[in-house]
Amino acid sequence: MEEIKTKILEKIFQKKKSLENISIKSLFEANPHRFEDFSFEYNKVLFDFSKNIIDEESLNYLIEFAEKSNLVENINDMFLGKKINFTENRAVLHTALRNLSGEQIFVDGKDISKDIKVELNKALNFAENLRNGIHLGCTGKKIKNVVNIGIGGSHLGPDMVCTALNKYSGDITVHFVSNVDPFDIEQVLKIVDPENTVFLIASKTFTTQETMANANKAKRWFLDRMSEPDFVAFHFAALSTNVRACKDFGVSESNIFGFWDWVGGRYSVWSVIGLSIAISIGSANFMRFLKGGYDMDMHFRNQPLNQNIPVLMALLGFWYNEFWNAETYAVIPYDQNLLKFSEFLQQLDMESNGKRINRSGEVVKYNTGPILWGTIGTNSQHSFFQLIHQGTRFIPVDFLACVNTGSEDIEQHKILLSNFVAQTEALMLGKSEAEVQEELKSENFSNDEIELLKPHKVFPGNKPTNVIIYNELTPETLGMLIALYEHKVFVQGVLWEINSFDQWGVELGKILAKKILSELQIGKIDNKHDGSTKGIMKFLFDNFKS
Ligand code: F6P
């Protein structure tokens, strides 16, 4: 790391030491305008960073570090299509998929904006034709079910978005199959009818073992019931960069929707991988979703670093990860519609920044990507919040909440919102020994009982939280939220000097699984396996039902 950056890190470290014994509560007491100073409103969304262990000086140092990391240049390189994914020699241009400005974007000297438009329009037409009953099943029935078969980025984004925007859905039911556990697809095949079902085989590579196993199973199931192989053309579509393999599978050319190697799997929800979303919510709403992502791109590209929401979120995460030993962070939406949001973010963040080698090929000497976890509130309060409040780990939390859900039961929604607000306050304030003592006294506990209970009832507090509140979960809002986290992950990758866009770490397991599968198929264990692996395989052989 350059000397100048090391010096800034040292300043940040000293600053962290000075903040160790200062509570967030006291920072509020010292500055009556802290909320105004550390929060932003953007497109009617409130981003409140004020309940963090941060002051102006530490934030300025962090911004200085980002500047010296050439963050602005890195942002431009990404948007302009420079091959920043250098280990795969690829540009990183998911932002081009939602670029509604009409701006030309070049990859290898070719303007890609036209191709993007062509594939988008083709996919949106297909979606509308299904929704309007123009594309019928092979026996003339209107399509009622769509099954998206894909995994990782070809599953998590579409599934999460369809769940989140369910209130916009039409009368086609979208099902998702991802796991190679046969139980997953069998559950879906039990409830759909081949005459009114379309399968979307979603795979960037069209080689992924799980997806191809499920796609082949779906095809066999379909042909067993519909006999004529040509009928596959009515009921199967493919979303992929590998057109040859889609054709070999039997998908007709008109049902193949393409995208490009410069769209990473976990960033592909904006591409034709999002076809299931367009079928569910309609093409106009899908365009609104793209617009939300585009708006966040504009903010990210144009705002100065100290007013740039993804940059600030990234810097706060960096601060806790590097200087406060936070190994994990939780994302808790107080919004049932965002049930699958944290799961989606896990791939986005952990597959992107789960790296140990920097851009110069050296092992890094610091922590990189944190462990991201979480689920919706209030369910999380009754499962793992105990650990966040009173455990030994330091866990920053992002809270998300929706002001108007569309539910008519506003009074019950207020119960949800009160819990959301209360948790952020409780995590910050905690409960002191004196408060516990006072409380137990007022409840008439004896002195001995008070001494016994007191330490267990103290909450240290001072747990940092970010709060994001949106007025309504519209397609635009969701697009904006996803793009926000994408850019946060990008910024952190720049600060850690890693390539956030490859994922070599998933390869080894895939290769070994293929070898082990062939051994399971022929019933012979390779003696070169270690003792445990051989023992596990023997146990499987001994217990397989023939
Ligand atoms: O898990 C590795 C990975 O390559 C992900 O990055 C990707 O989203 C997933 O597999 C699925 O890949 P594909 O879309 O090519 O089937």
Mean pLDDT value of segment 325-330:
97
Q: Is 351 a catalytic residue?
A: yes
Is residue 22 domain-resident?
A: no
CA-nearest residue for atom 3, ligand 1, is 152
Which residue spans within 61-111 are E strands per DSSP? 106-107, 110-111
Q: What is the DSSP string of 232-300?
A: HHHHEEEEES-HHHHHHHT--GGGEEE--TTS-GGGGGGTGGGHHHHHHH-HHHHHHHHHHHHHHHHHH
DSSP assignment letter at 142? B
CA-nearest residue for atom 8, ligand 1, is 153
Q: Are residues 452 and 363 in the same domain?
A: no
Q: Any idea which residue has 């009622």 for tokens?
A: 144
CB 200 within 8 A of CB 143: no
What crossing angle do the helices spanning 283-302 and 475-495 adopt, rounded to 10°? 40
Q: Are residues 345 and 240 in the same domain?
A: no
What is the model's pLDDT at position 80?
96
The rounded Å distance from CA 154 to ligand 1 centre is 7
Q: Are residues 381 and 447 in the same domain?
A: no
CA-nearest residue for atom 6, ligand 1, is 265
CB 166 within 8 A of CB 174: no
Is residue 58 domain-resident?
A: no
Q: Are residues 417 and 435 in the same domain?
A: no
Q: Are residues 406 and 351 in the same domain?
A: yes
Q: Are residues 206 and 151 in the same domain?
A: yes
What is the model's pLDDT at position 229?
72
Q: Is residue 498 pLDDT above 90, yes or no?
A: yes
Of 209, 267, 269, 506, the residue with max ligand 1 atoms within 8 A of its CB, to mutate for a pocket test, comes to: 506
522-532 confidence digits (pLDDT tens): 999 999 999 99
Q: Would you state the structure tokens that stand for residue 114, as one six-digit string?
A: 């036209």
Q: Which residues line ligand 1 (CB under 6 A)?
A: 151-154, 203-205, 208, 211, 265-266, 351, 503, 506
| CATH, residue 155 | 3.40.50.10490
Q: What is the DSSP string of 436-480?
A: HHHHHHHTT--HHHHHHHHHHH-B-----EEEEEES---HHHHHH
CB 31 within 8 A of CB 37: yes
The rounded Å distance from CA 186 to ligand 1 centre is 22
The rounded Å distance from CA 488 to ligand 1 centre is 21
471-488 confidence digits (pLDDT tens): 999 999 999 999 999 999
The rounded Å distance from CA 234 to ligand 1 centre is 26
Q: How far apart are CA 504 and CA 502, in angstroms?
A: 6
Mean pLDDT value of segment 119-144:
97
What is the model's pLDDT at position 231?
84
The rounded Å distance from CA 491 to ligand 1 centre is 22
CB 197 within 8 A of CB 234: no
Q: Is 171 left (phi over 0), alpha (psi -120 to 50) or beta?
A: alpha
Q: What are the phi and psi torsion angles at 229 (to 5°)?
A: -60, -30
% pLDDT > 90, the chain: 97
What is the number of the ligand 1 atom nearest to the C-alpha of 151?
Answer: 11
What is the number of the ligand 1 atom nearest to the C-alpha of 154?
Answer: 14
Q: Is the dihedral of CA 434, 437, 439, 442 positive or negative?
A: negative
Nearest by Cα to 295 from 475, 446, 128, 134: 475
161-177 confidence digits (pLDDT tens): 999 999 999 999 999 99
**Lowest-confidence range among 45-54, 438-447, 536-545?**
536-545
Give the chain's domain count: 4
What is the model's pLDDT at position 279?
98
16-57 confidence digits (pLDDT tens): 999 999 999 999 999 999 999 999 999 999 999 999 999 999
CA-nearest residue for atom 2, ligand 1, is 506
Nearest by Cα to 219 from 247, 187, 251, 253: 251
The rounded Å distance from CA 255 to ligand 1 centre is 21
Of 160, 206, 208, the residue with max ligand 1 atoms within 8 A of its CB, to mutate for a pocket test, comes to: 208
Q: Is 109 left (phi over 0), alpha (psi -120 to 50) or beta?
A: left
CA-nearest residue for atom 10, ligand 1, is 152
Q: Are residues 347 and 205 in the same domain?
A: no
Of 85, 151, 216, 272, the residue with max ligand 1 atoms within 8 A of its CB, to mutate for a pocket test, comes to: 151
> Which three-class secondary structure state does DSSP give residue 176?
strand
Mean pLDDT value of segment 428-454:
97
Q: Are residues 338 and 245 in the same domain?
A: no
Q: Are residues 394 and 440 in the same domain?
A: no
> pLDDT band at 342, cuts 50/70/90?
very high
The rounded Å distance from CA 265 to ligand 1 centre is 6
Of 87, 154, 268, the residue with max ligand 1 atoms within 8 A of its CB, to mutate for a pocket test, comes to: 154
What is the model's pLDDT at position 357?
98
What is the number of the ligand 1 atom nearest to the C-alpha of 265?
Answer: 8
The rounded Å distance from CA 490 to ligand 1 centre is 19
Report cis status (omega within 30 of 0) of the bond before 241. Answer: no
Of 85, 180, 503, the residue with max ligand 1 atoms within 8 A of its CB, to mutate for a pocket test, comes to: 503
Which residue would you say has higher pLDDT here, 230 or 426? 426
Task: Give pairs for 127-133: CB < 8 Å, separation 24+.
Answer: 127/275, 127/278, 127/279, 127/282, 127/283, 127/286, 128/282, 128/283, 130/172, 130/198, 130/279, 131/170, 131/172, 131/279, 131/282
% pLDDT > 70, the chain: 100
What is the model's pLDDT at position 387?
98
Task: Find the catalytic residue in 365, 382, 528, 545.
Answer: 382
Is residue 71 domain-resident?
A: no
Q: What is the CB-side half-sphere exposure of residue 74 using CA atoms within 13 A?
A: 24
CA-nearest residue for atom 9, ligand 1, is 152
Is residue 294 domain-resident?
A: no
What is the number of the ligand 1 atom nearest to the C-alpha of 210?
Answer: 16
What crossing angle do the helices spanning 475-495 and 56-68 adopt, rounded to 10°? 70
Q: Which helix or strand (DSSP H or E) is residue 198 part of?
A: strand 197-202
What is the model's pLDDT at position 405?
94
What is the number of the ligand 1 atom nearest to the C-alpha of 211?
Answer: 16
Task: Find the catalytic residue in 119, 195, 210, 351.
Answer: 351
Task: Find the catalytic residue in 44, 110, 167, 510.
Answer: 510
The rounded Å distance from CA 143 to ligand 1 centre is 28
What is the model's pLDDT at position 102?
87
Q: Are residues 357 and 474 in the same domain?
A: yes
What is the model's pLDDT at position 545?
81
> pLDDT band at 250, cuts 50/70/90?
very high
- What count of residues does the chain have? 546
What is the model's pLDDT at position 233?
85
> pLDDT band at 493, cuts 50/70/90?
very high
Q: How far apart are CA 68 and CA 79, in angstroms?
A: 20
> pLDDT band at 333, cuts 50/70/90?
very high
The rounded Å distance from CA 151 to ligand 1 centre is 6
What is the number of the ligand 1 atom nearest to the C-alpha of 266?
Answer: 8
Q: Is 510 a catalytic residue?
A: yes
211-244 confidence digits (pLDDT tens): 999 999 999 999 999 977 778 889 999 999 999 9
Average pLDDT of every residue of the chain: 97
Domain of 252, in residue numbers: 106-288
Q: Is residue 1 pLDDT above 70, yes or no?
A: no
Q: Are residues 217 and 275 in the same domain?
A: yes
CB 249 within 8 A of CB 200: no
Nearest by Cα to 295 from 141, 169, 470: 470
Bridge partner residues of 128 (DSSP): none
Residue type, 487: H
Contacts of 301 (CB under 8 A, 6+ apart): 75, 76, 79
Is residue 230 domain-resident?
A: yes
What is the number of the ligand 1 atom nearest to the C-alpha of 153?
Answer: 8
Is residue 451 domain-resident?
A: yes
What is the model's pLDDT at position 45?
96
Is residue 528 domain-resident?
A: yes
Contacts of 237 (CB under 8 A, 6+ apart): 126, 198, 199, 200, 201, 251, 255, 256, 257, 275
The rounded Å distance from CA 207 to ligand 1 centre is 9
**Longest pairwise C-alpha distance within the chain:** 83
CB 274 within 8 A of CB 158: yes
What is the number of the ligand 1 atom nearest to the C-alpha of 264?
Answer: 6
What is the model's pLDDT at position 227?
79
61-99 confidence digits (pLDDT tens): 999 999 999 999 999 999 999 999 999 999 999 999 999
Query: What's the distance, Cα to Cα, between the start and end of the chain in Å?
Result: 59
Q: How far apart are CA 285 and CA 166, in angstroms?
A: 12
Is residue 169 domain-resident?
A: yes
Q: Are residues 491 and 522 in the same domain?
A: no
